[in-house]
Amino acid sequence: MARPVMLAFAVAAAVVVVCLYSLSPVAASPVAGGWSAVKGAYKVKEVQDLAKFAVKTHNNEKNTNLQYHSVKAAWRQVVAGLKWRIELRAFDPARATKGRVPALYVAEIWEKPWEDFRQLLTFKEATN
C-alpha cells in the first residue's frame, strides 16, 4: 500500500517542479530533444550558477585553477532532465598574460532539478 502512495507523491513532486520551472526566465518554449537558446543568459542567475559549477567541477577533476568570469551564451535541451550548453569566460592563472584576458570555454551539464542532480559532461576551451 505504501509503494503506490510513494509513487504518486514522486509523480506529483515532479509535476510541481516542471510547472514551477516553466515560470522561470530560462523556460522559453523548450522543444523536446532540440536546443533552445536562453535569452539574456549572461544575466540569468541559474545559468551563472551552472557555469560556476562547471568551472569548479572542471578544476577539481583536472587539477586546474580556472577562475570564473562570466557567461557569454547558453542553450538548453530537454532530455531525461535538462542538458545545458554554456559558453563561459574564465581566467587561467597558469597562462596569465598582460591585461588578464579571460578565455572562452564551452561546458555541457546534465541536470535533474527535481533530484538535485548535476553532472559536468564536457568542458573544453572554445576554438575560434
Cell numbers for 78: 530537454
pLDDT at 94: 84
Query: What average pLDDT values come out for the chain (128 residues) when binned by 10 residues?
Result: 61 50 52 88 98 99 97 96 98 78 96 96 92
Residues in the chain, overall count: 128
In this structure, what CATH number is given to the domain that contains residue 20? Answer: 3.10.450.10
Which residues, 6+ apart, have CB-to-CB distance to 106 below 8 Å? 85, 86, 87, 88, 122, 123, 124, 125, 126
pLDDT at 9: 60
- For the chain, the domain total comes to 1
**Residue 18 CA neighbour count, 13 Å, CB half:** 13
Q: Which range of residues forms the domain containing residue 6?
A: 2-125
For position 100, what pLDDT does the model report? Answer: 76
For residues 105 and 123, the answer to whether their CB atoms sit within 8 Å is: yes
Supply the pLDDT for residue 127: 83
